[in-house]
Amino acid sequence: MLNRPEKPATMTAEPILRLEGITKTFPGVKALNDIALELYPGQVTALIGENGAGKSTLVKIMTGIYQPDAGAITLDGEAVHFPSAHAALDHGITAIHQETVLFDELSVAENIFLGHAPRTRVGFVDWKKLRAEAADILKNMGASIDPGARLKDLSIANKHLVAVARALSIEAQIVIMDEPTAALSHKEIEELFVLVDLLRQDGKAILFISHKFDEIFRIADRYTVFRDGEMVGSGLMAETDQKELVRMMVGRSVDQVFPKQEVTLGETVLEVKGLSHPTEFDDINFTLRRGEILGFYGLVGAGRSELMQALFGATRPSSGTVTLEGKPALAKSEADAIEKGIVYVPEERGRQGAVIGLPIFQNISLPSLKKTSRSGFLDLAREFALARKYAERLDLRAASLSQDVGTLSGGNQQKVVIAKWLATQPRVIILDEPTKGIDIGSKAAVHEFMSALAAEGLCVIMVSSELPEIMGMSDRVIVMREGRIAGEFNREALDAETLVRTAAGIEET
């Protein structure tokens, strides 16, 4: 099926897939607003935008996981809609994700043909043909992967290759690649690009999502830029440059005001020296002063969350020291970190932050139970009083503190998680993407609170991939790239384009 004559990519072809006026609203958040996107056969279209710009939502709509509230999808001139993931697949749309969604325990060949395996005349799976065809596809791709190998024994790069092979085997017309290079080494990225070229020559329409500008300029024919759920520009790569793309990505109206209070910074509270991890980050040095909000900016996969998890005792660094108020504070476990006064509000609120299924007051009191108990037994009255105190401080909107935290909106859940930590009276609070996926009202509340906390003398570390948040809230910003500190900027010296360039490793022009 790969033996079609090669056709050169032409820039004048008709789009094979056209999305118009796509709008998608989640409770409290408008994820996509009247966006348009066109994909052309034999061309790579890069989708560019900050985190939270709506790229993933769009991918989910294109693959039938979400249904748009409004808008039309036209495929090959015909109006289509994808009520399910299967429907999208049937229309020849396939996605390769950052973390491949394949089956670890199955063989490479089975993964390639799962769901559309060749059959014998009586309807059984034709294993011989399946293996032969899988081997054929892999060979045509120039991949040296044994079709009989189990997927879990493969490297991430090779898993991507299998995903590509699967796309070829189902004769997909449209291939979406959602940050496929995030976890790959330099050499593996080169190999992936060869494959993208192969797909392009095969006439597939490719949507390539990446944060890395060098990649986009290497591989893409066209671009579309999203910002805050809206399409802000599109065109041919040949007619633009990095500077213009960065400007489109970050340029925004300045109506967003951040409630950052001016704080006189106190003495140094936290000092991190030479902190390294075998695979995630290397030689991290920084200090944190009383009352300071320190922003960590970088691309996904730059090692920021991993660094924070090390500070919180969730992973063990290989070398380096952490000092808190003059005492060694390299946490041995999460409980140890909490004991020492370092707390962490994780990125994935629903999975790691809030204990959904437990009532609000139990969520807030969970790490403080020792404090509220009397001689080893829970004192519900004291527990409830503690929860009420911190819920009120955070202006939590809930009918009752006894209701399941899962019934709250994302913003209020985040408040519960923060309340939980404040109740432990920490020295340092680490917020990992604190406003990701929460509505604007709650966002402002979280920001306001963060600022108030700092003013009271708490040290705040904020990991964020949202530029306005980083620039609006931080006293100082550390930019990380590929596990290392790539730059440090004081509040006065903050500049959106410089931050993006530092994070992406683009030379100053």
Partner 1 sequence: MQALLKHRELILVGAIAVLVGLIALRFPGFIAPRNIVRVFDDTSILMMLALGQMVVILTRCIDLSIAANLALCGMIVAMINAAFPDIPIPALIVVGVACGAALGAVNGLLVWKLDIPSIVVTLGTMTIFRGSIFLLSSGEWVNAHQMSAAFKAFPRTEFLWIPVFSWIAIAVIALFFVLMTRTPLGRSFYAVGVNPTASVYTGIDVGRTRFFAFVVSGIVAGLAGYLWVSRYAVAYVDIAGGFELEVVAACVIGGISIAGGIGTVAGAVLGALFLGVVKNALPVIDVSPFAQMAISGAVIVIAVIFNARAERKTGRIILRKAEASA
Q: Which residues bind partner 1 (CB under 8 A)?
A: 27-28, 312, 314, 333-335, 337-338, 344, 346, 351-359, 362, 366-367, 369-370, 373, 376-378, 380, 397, 402, 404, 406-409, 412, 420, 439
State how far the Cα of 339 lies from the Cα of 335, in Å rounded to an integer. 6
Shortest Å, Cβ 422 to partner 1: 14
Three-state SS annotation for 18-66: EEEEEEEEECCEEEEEEEEEEECCCCEEEEECCCCCCHHHHHHHHCCCC
User: Do the beta carbons of residue 176 and residue 100 sit within 8 Å?
Assistant: no
Shortest Å, Cβ 54 to partner 1: 18
State how far the Cα of 398 lies from the Cα of 364, in Å rounded to an integer. 13
Shortest Å, Cβ 158 to partner 1: 27
Closer to partner 1 by CB, 247 or 397: give it.
397
Largest CA distance in the chain: 80
Q: Which amino acid is at 238?
A: A
Token pair in block for residue 209: 């999502």
Residue tagged 């109506």 (tokens)? 255
Angle between helices 410-422 and 380-393 (to 10 degrees): 120
Closer to partner 1 by CB, 118 or 406: give it.
406
Closer to partner 1 by CB, 23 or 240: give it.
23
Cβ-based neighbour number of residue 194 at 10 Å: 11
Phi, psi of 403 (to 5 degrees): -80, 155
Shortest Å, Cβ 378 to partner 1: 5
Closer to partner 1 by CB, 149 or 355: give it.
355
As a whole number of Å, the end-to-end CA separation of the chain is 45
Shortest Å, Cβ 427 to partner 1: 15
Shortest Å, Cβ 394 to partner 1: 16
Shortest Å, Cβ 16 to partner 1: 36
Closer to partner 1 by CB, 278 or 441: give it.
441
User: Do the beta carbons of residue 162 and residue 122 sit within 8 Å?
Assistant: no
Closer to partner 1 by CB, 317 or 472: give it.
317
Shortest Å, Cβ 28 to partner 1: 5
Closer to partner 1 by CB, 9 or 314: give it.
314
Closer to partner 1 by CB, 147 or 411: give it.
411
Burial of 21-56, coded b for 16+ CB within 10 Å and e otherwise, reads ebbbeeeebbbbbebebbbbbbbbbbbbbbebbbbb
